[in-house]
Chain A
Amino acid sequence: MRERWQRLRQHQGAVASLFLLPAGFGFAIFYLWPSLRALYMSFTDYSLLRGEGELVGLQNYEDMIADPLFWQSMRVTGLYVLINIVVQTILALLIAVMMDRLTRSVIIRGILVLPWLIPQVVVGLLWLWMLDPRLGVVNHLLNVVGIGSQGFLGSPDQVVPSLAGINTWRFVGYTALLLFAGLQMIPKHLYESAALDGAGEIRMFFRVTLPLLRPVLALVLVLSVVGSFQVFDLVQVATGGIGGQPGGPADSSLVIYVYIFRQAFNFNNAGYAAAMSAVLAVLLALVTVLIMRGLRGSRSDLA
């Protein structure tokens, strides 16, 4: 028995390596190698223009700790991620359940995912314009209903929530679609028996839906958290106005990836940018592990 198990395991290992071959090849060359290079870069004063750099030890990491803009951008990013995840996940879950239990119309599903089909840069410009304090249609409508104009992207207090709102607009349908796909994996008879036990929609959601959705929920949460931490195009385009410096006003929307990008491309400090990326990557990895562990995302109750 033990022998057979061993053989099976070995056999499965061989099969697995075969199955992993193409993806592993792509991973090693186009992801792992560049990532390791980026990590190495973080210990150098690498410059994109020179295409090289010399080892500087931990200098970049020390600079980072002393850099007020790094901390400012981490704070801004943290706030953005928090608003984004809470609002987007709850809303997406709600929509997914409605797609599942209320209507299965492909048209509605298509409508909700439409914003995701538009490139991020266009989304940023579109909302920059729609939210313009004077000429934007949103403030025009708010004035009509008597709420009055808001600063939105031009106000230091409102800029981050506005960005999170735009991002939610773009991704909530997509996120809901992923969750909806997860909902389809849940056998219908479980709902039927729960209904027979007299469970209402809400109890069914917590007793059947949520536990069985775990692997997909973990996927969605990890993708949203990582994606929100790496928000870039949207902030780059929609803040600072046309022609201004992104991240404004007064650095109130300077998210970490915009700062990383600026260090690499504008300030020509790719080494320093790589160090910040490395810290960000470690942070994201920790959050990912927490989510996967917390939701037991690698195990399914169905399998």
Chain B
Amino acid sequence: MSSTTKTSPVRPGASKAGGEAGRLLARLRLSRGFAWLVLFVIILVTLFPFFWILRTALTTNSSLFTGDQSMLPPEPTLVNFRRVLGLATDEEVRAAGGSGAELRFWLYLRNSVVFSTLVTVGQVTSCAMAAYAFARLKWRGRDAVFYVFLSSLMVPPVFILIPNFILLSDLDLLDTFAGLVAPFIFMTPFMVFFLRQFFLGISSELEEAARLDGAGHVRIFARICVPVMAAPLTTAAILAYVIAWNEFMWPLVAGNDPSVRVLTVGLSVFRSGQPQAAPDWSGLMAATVLGALPVILLFLLMGRRIVDSIQFTGIK
């Protein structure tokens, strides 16, 4: 925990003196206690399915439904993780209810990292510039253009997917990283919207001071806005990364070749292979854990940086 814990101004000491303070203190303790309880319940509900993912990943398919709903895996095993990593023998795979599909986990992991990193860097840079233009610059038709950008959020992704697929096919860019990142690297309506809304909240004082000093827009953007916006930009970057990491439909159709196949597509073999068949539950859950681990780590490492890396109070 960082030092920011102390920012809560509603400390007993800060409130008015006198007999009221005692009652206020008691009420505060009570309501804080209640708030903690609510938070605890929310965390419990949030985490329980993850417990279930782990339980399933540590159980073989054949004993999944015979374990009589026990909370712990009836016979814990790591075979599912070995299957996902391609370390299990053919016999083990078949005994665990798996298929003969080839899974090159490390290659797909690398591809996912390349894809998500390229998308994040490109998208955040170009969307931050666009958001600056929409939030901090004054020009004719600004809001109208913004709404046009925003309107692309309303079109179901399927209808964007197909023309883009045809375009990149014509450009002969399918099965390359260039083709894979193309629809995302310049912008997504979400990212422009997100950053614009946060850029709206910056105090204009610093900007004006800089302008009086004769700074140009590029300098204001790079030297003032970007540092001030470090927190939302970091948040945006992480959101972009996670969204790219979980992207499925586009990489499925546009990146079939193993050299560019990303993890979500690679791991989809653990969904049902046949019509009307149940998924390979254990493999799917083990794959989910391994597939999500990188973004969970990223989040924990960068989590501290999200949103509270800067004190906005210092600006005004």
The answer to whether A19 and B137 touch across the interface, beta carbons within 8 angstroms, is yes
* CB-based contact B155/A192 at 8 Å: no
Per DSSP, are chain A's interface residues mostly helix, strand or loop, or mixed? helix
Question: Within the complex, which residue of A20, A34, A95, A121 is in contact with B133, where a contact is CB–CB below 8 Å?
Answer: A20
Contacting residue for A114 out of B8, B46, B204, B313, CB 8 A: B46
Using a CB-CB cutoff of 8 Å, which residues 64-118 of chain A contact chain B? Answer: 91, 94-95, 98, 101-118
Interface segment among A55-63, A123-131, A155-163: the answer is: A123-131
Among A109, A184, A219, A264, the most chain B Cβ lie within 10 Å of the Cβ of: A184
When chains A and B are docked, how far (Å) is the Cα of A34 from the Cα of B315? 42
Known interface pairs A115-B49, A117-B296; A26-B133 also in contact (CB < 8 Å)? no
Q: Are A16 and B133 in contact (CB under 8 A)?
A: yes
Chain A residues near B8 (CB, 8 Å)? 101
Chain A: interface residue total (CB-CB under 8 A): 112
Contact indicator A30/B160 (Cβ below 8 Å)? yes
Which residue of B has the minimal Cβ distance to A112? Answer: B46
Judging by beta carbons under 8 Å apart, are A16 and B142 in contact?
A: yes
Contact check, A15 vs B133: say whether CB atoms are below 8 A apart: yes
Grouping DSSP codes into helix (H, G, I), strand (E, B) and loop, the B interface class, with mixed when no group exceeds half, is helix
- Contact check, B271 vs A121: say whether CB atoms are below 8 A apart: yes
A190 to B149, CA, bound (A): 34
- Evaluate contact between A242 and B272: CB separation under 8 angstroms: yes
The 10 sampled A-B contact pairs (Cβ below 8 Å) are A13-B139, A17-B133, A35-B151, A37-B159, A95-B42, A115-B46, A226-B154, A242-B277, A243-B278, A298-B200
Question: Which residue numbers of B lie inside 8 Å of A, CB to CB?
Answer: 1-2, 4-5, 7-10, 14-16, 31-32, 35-36, 38-39, 42-43, 45-47, 49-50, 52-53, 65, 69, 125-127, 129-130, 132-133, 137-140, 142-143, 145-164, 166-167, 182-183, 185-187, 189-190, 192-194, 197-198, 200-204, 217-218, 221, 231-232, 235, 242, 246, 248, 264, 268, 271-272, 275-279, 281, 284-285, 288, 291-292, 295-296, 299-300, 303-304, 306-308, 311-313, 315-316
Interface residues of A (CB under 8 A from B): 9, 12-13, 15-17, 19-27, 29-35, 37-38, 41, 48, 51, 91, 94-95, 98, 101-122, 125-127, 129-130, 135, 137, 140, 169, 173, 177-178, 180-182, 184-189, 191-192, 195-196, 198, 201, 204, 215-216, 218-219, 222-223, 226, 230, 242-243, 257, 260-261, 264, 270, 273-274, 277, 280-282, 284-285, 288-289, 297-300, 302-303
